[in-house]
Amino acid sequence: MTTHLRRGLTALGTIAIMLGSVLAVAATPASSATQPAIQVLTNIRTGLNTGFDRVVLDMSDGQRPDVRYEVTDELTQDGSGEIFWLTGEYFVSVVVNPAYAHDINGNPSFPQPQRFRTRNLHNVMAVGLAGDFEGYVSIGLGIRYQSWVRVFTLTAPNRVVIDVGH
């Protein structure tokens, strides 16, 4: 083999190695540190306001979740579909996704019981965690009578606000 041929093959080998390195770096997925974290329910607060009751779901930092709600005559638990018993004549079901209501060990991520009465409010009688399943957190509100409902999110700090008219 001639010197020129050896040098040419060595140069081609070096180029192939460099090209392979560039392709490997380009194919590497972005690190998980760049992806926003999923919010975790950290607290549930209630308050009486003029004309409406307010329930606030305090959330951790993370990507803004999608929130939907419906007024219904029955609440069900996520995953099992079993009836979720809560004090009230009617119910508001609020679903937050993506979100969790537990820590990495599966323990609840907030201090309250899973259900509690709200004796200081006019329409909302009880609040309960109806589900924490596969990135969906479901909150149930038991209400005395049907009225308007308004649900929205706020940031800094992150929270989901549920207003129920008197």
Tens of pLDDT, residue by residue over 116-130, are 999 999 999 999 999
Is residue 115 within 8 A of residue 128, CB to CB? The reply is: yes
The string of DSSP letters for 72-140 reads: ES--B-TTT--B---S-SEEEEEEEESEESB-TTS-BSSSS-SEEE-TT-SSEEEEEEEEEETTEEEEE
pLDDT single digits (tens) 49-108: 999 999 999 999 999 999 999 999 999 998 889 999 999 999 999 999 999 999 888 888
At residue 79, the pLDDT reads 82
Select from 57, 72, 66, 88 the least CA-distant residue to 163. Answer: 57
Do residues 56 and 159 make contact, with C-beta atoms less than 8 angstroms apart? yes
- Give the per-residue pLDDT at 103: 87
Closest CA to 101 of 17, 11, 41: 41
Closest by CA position to 89, among listed 156, 133, 142: 142
Pairing mode of beta strands 90-97, 66-72: antiparallel
Average pLDDT over residues 15-30: 45
| R_g over Cα of the chain | 26
Of the listed ranges 11-25, 75-89, 144-158, the one predicted with least confidence: 11-25
pLDDT band for 112, please (50, 70, 90 cuts): confident
Neighbour-count burial of 137, counting CB atoms closer than 10 A to its CB (0-12 exposed, 13-18 middle, 19+ buried): buried
Long-range contacts of 76-81 (CB under 8 A, 24+ apart): 76/130, 77/130, 77/131, 77/138, 78/130, 78/131, 78/132, 78/133, 78/134, 78/136, 78/138, 79/131, 79/133, 79/134
